[in-house]
Each structure stands twice: as structure tokens, then as C-alpha cells.
Amino acid sequence: LGSTGDSTVPVIVRGPNGPEFFDDIDVAAFPYTGFSYEIERDGQTLVSIYLGTTLIGFVPKDLADEFSAFYDGSTYPVNVLPEPPSPPMPPLPPGAIVDIQFNGETIGSTTDTTVPVIVMRGDGPALDGSVATEDYPYTGYSYDVEREGQTLVSVYVGMTLVGFVPKSAASSFTGLSGGEAYPLDILPDAPPPPSPDAPIPGPESPAQGSPPAPLPPLPPSATVDLVYGGSIIASATDGQIPIIIDGENGPVRAGFELASAFPYTGFSYELSHGGQLLVSVYVGRQIVGFMPGHDVASFTATSDGVIYPLVVLENAPPSPTTPTGGMPDSPDQDAPPSPLPPIPPGAVVELVYGGTTIGATTATTVPVLVSGGTGPVLYGSVNIANYPYQGTTYTIVRGGQELVSVYIDELL
């Protein structure tokens, strides 16, 4: 039906008698990201297909599994990559007005000090006044109130309380602010208080009221699943920990980091990803991921059938200073080092191995390193513009070796 060229791949559409060639398209516009591309041609949605990581064409999305590729006398199955994740929602600005909507209609809105209370009546949701936000401080758990014989539950955007809606229909409401539609979060129910009638343990009944048995320690190489709302969002495994951000419909995985880059110090780490501030989470002393702080209470960690609570460590203290320029009186040798300053735009970054600079960036290129006979050697460079930041790694092949993209923060 079509063949690749030096810099083009064929575009195939569905014709009256089956798939047919439509035109060629430049591959430079579609760098490999690990996710599929979609284009529109002749009123049809076409999806990119690959051999390994090489783009070889665009075909009708619903027929992609029926195509194959012929190269050098052999036939190969084509690969359809997963769809790219939805971009994260922008954070809600402080003091923003949020409209609570049902089927596209605004039922009530927040103010600087109040949130709307919405009940269900015969003709649908209706505003039943408002309550002061200061009466409902954020605790990581939901609040319930009663109105007109209905149970209403608190709903949030991130950690911001934006209203109370009927609990039975809460998932049908959305928040609108600044032209952005936000899903409304429902926090878990608060644990019940201890019963006043519970027996008080005495000398003759030590088991009554005793604390639960301690959880087994987490093996260092264990796979840890991070669970939200009963679904596994991401897993920490093989020395890699997931980066979780708030997506359009809840938390989503946005990449991985090496656990070894974040040694345990007794204090938390913070990362910025896609405009969201993420905090490190732990099982015991083992780091298992990064996520928005307001999501931590809604997550649990599971490993080998055991459910573990996630822990957020305290922030690191500020670095000690000495007005006289001498040593601090009692330095904390276990405190983490001060954070590194951000890399200035346009700065030259040298890649160093064993104390020797192997390659360096320029304003428009980054070095390509391969394994040589006695260690890494410079193989050339590539243009940065061909590898925009996606939150996932790129892989390329040079000298018969598979190479992976490396970053400082979001800088390739």
C-alpha cells in the first residue's frame, strides 16, 4: 500500500475498496515519544505505527492491528503505541471562584469565605444556602452534613473545599474555574471514634485493647503498588519509583525516578513536575514514590498482600548560618545537603565519567555517548528540538547500542 522514504512515511486511508495510499508525510514532525500520534486525513482518524521505535506510517485507527510491514525479505508485525496521557489540570489559584455545575449548569459558587450547599429536589439539584469554609478545615477526610433529609458530602479541588453535594450523586458534579473544568474529589470517610463502651484492658485481660501486631518489614527489593480508590496507579520496582501527578480524572503516573537518587535522610524530598509540587512518600524508611501532598491520605501501598500506610517525612530544616563566618556551634551531620540551584537557561552542562568530561551540551545540542573499549566515548550530538520534554524517556540506537535520554529536572 505504501513505502517509507528517506525522510517520509506513507499515509494510508480507508477507500471504497479497502485501505489505499493517500500521501506521504515528513517523519521529522513526529519524534519518538513512547506514545502514539493521531492525524486526520479524508475525514478519518489515523494512528502512527512502528517497527520498534521507528515510525513507518499512519493507518486507519480501527484497522491498525490488520497491517504488517515488509522489510529486507521478511514480514514484521507493526506496533501501535499507547495513547499519550492527558495533560495535568492546572492548579487552582488561591482565592479562585469555583462554580459547581451539574450537566453543564451552574448550581452554586464559592466565595472568599463560603462554599455552596446543594441538595436534590424534584426538578434536580438546587442551592440550599452556603456554609463558612473556616468551619470545615482540611483534615484529609470528608465531612457529611444533613439537609432536607439528605446526606451531603464535602467535595474538593485538590485540598480546597468547594462545596457540599448529595452523596449519592457526587460523581455527577464538576467544578468550573477560570475556564477550566475540574473533577471534584471526595475524600475518604474519617475513621470512627473509639466506642465509649469498649472494655478497658486490665491485668487479667492484656489482649483486650492491645495494639495490632506490627506490619512485616518491607523487603528492600519488594515491588510496591500504590493504590488509589481501589486501583493501582503505579508501582515501585527494580530500583525505580513512580512520579504521580493529578490528571484530568484523578491521579496518574507521569514517569519514574531512580530510588538511589533520593537516599533516606529523615527528611522529605520535593519535586516539581508539570507545574505541580510533589512530595516523597515512604513505607518505613523506603522511598516508594512522589505525589501531590494532598493525595497522600487517599493512597495506600500494598506489597505481597500486605497493606502499608504511606508516610510523609518532615521538611528539612534550613541550612545553619553563622554570622561570624565560623563553623556552626552544633552542625547536624545527618541533615541533607542544601538543594542545588536550578540550572540557568543556556548553561553548558558537562557529562563527567570517572572525573573526565566525555561530552557537553551547547545551546541547541546534547552529546551522545556510547560504551567504548575503555569506557564511555563521545559519538556525536543530537538536536534538542527533536526531543521535547514529555515526562518519559527517549531511546535511540547508535553504534549498535541502545541509549537513553538523561535529564536534570526537565532539562535534557
pLDDT in tens, 46-71: 999 998 788 999 999 999 989 999 98
pLDDT tens-digit series, residues 221-236 = 789 999 998 888 999 9
CB 402 within 8 A of CB 395: yes
Looking at the chain, the whole-number percentage of residues with pLDDT higher than 70 is: 86
| Poorest-pLDDT segment among 107-121, 169-183, 215-229 | 215-229
Q: Which of 80, 111, 142 is the last residue of a domain?
A: 80
Q: Which of 296, 312, 328 is the last residue of a domain?
A: 312
pLDDT score at 206: 43
Residues 109, 177 within the same domain: yes
Tell me if 325 is assigned to some domain. no
Residues 73, 127 within the same domain: no
pLDDT tens-digit series, residues 260-287 = 888 888 888 888 887 788 899 998 888 9
Tell me if 19 is assigned to some domain. yes
Tell me if 219 is assigned to some domain. no
CB 184 within 8 A of CB 99: no
Report helix, strand or coil for 10.
strand
pLDDT score at 212: 55
CB 372 within 8 A of CB 379: no
Q: How confident is the model at residue 155 (pLDDT cuts 50, 70, 90)?
A: very high
Write down the pTM of the prediction. 0.35
DSSP state of 159: T
pLDDT score at 125: 96
Rounded-to-integer distance, Cα 406 and Cα 350, Å: 12
Residues 12, 61 within the same domain: yes
pLDDT at 334 over 90: no
Tell me if 71 is assigned to some domain. yes
pLDDT score at 44: 93
pLDDT at 214 over 80: no
pLDDT tens-digit series, residues 298-329 = 899 988 888 888 988 887 766 444 444 444 44
Q: Identify the CA nearest to 113 among candidates 164, 161, 60.
A: 161
pLDDT score at 89: 66
pLDDT score at 337: 53
As a whole number, the mean pLDDT across the chain is 83
Tell me if 207 is assigned to some domain. no
Residues 60, 106 within the same domain: no
Rounded-to-integer distance, Cα 289 and Cα 183, Å: 23
Looking at the 3D structure of the chain, how many domains does it have? 4
Q: How confident is the model at residue 86 (pLDDT cuts 50, 70, 90)?
A: low
Residue span of the structural domain in which 372 resides: 349-404
Residues 117, 163 within the same domain: yes
Residues 180, 231 within the same domain: no
| Burial of 63: CB neighbours in 10 Å, binned 0-12, 13-18, 19+ | middle
Residues 13, 59 within the same domain: yes
Contacts of residue 221, Cβ cutoff 8 Å, sequence gap at least 6: none
pLDDT score at 176: 94
> Would you give the distance in Å from CA 326 to the centre of its chain?
43
Cβ–Cβ contacts within 10 Å for residue 24, how many? 16
pLDDT tens-digit series, residues 88-113 = 667 778 789 999 999 999 999 999 99
Looking at the chain, the whole-number percentage of residues with pLDDT higher than 90 is: 36
Tell me if 91 is assigned to some domain. no
Q: Which of 186, 203, 232 is the last residue of a domain?
A: 186
Residues 138, 176 within the same domain: yes
Question: Dihedral through CA 300, CA 305, CA 306, CA 312, nearest 10?
Answer: -30
Mean pLDDT within 5-21: 94
Tell me if 362 is assigned to some domain. yes
Residues 35, 111 within the same domain: no
Q: How confident is the model at residue 145 (pLDDT cuts 50, 70, 90)?
A: very high
Rounded-to-integer distance, Cα 230 and Cα 240, Å: 22
Residues 76, 109 within the same domain: no
Tell me if 70 is assigned to some domain. yes
Residues 16, 59 within the same domain: yes
For 193: left if phi > 0, alpha if psi spans -120 to 50, otherwise beta; the answer is beta
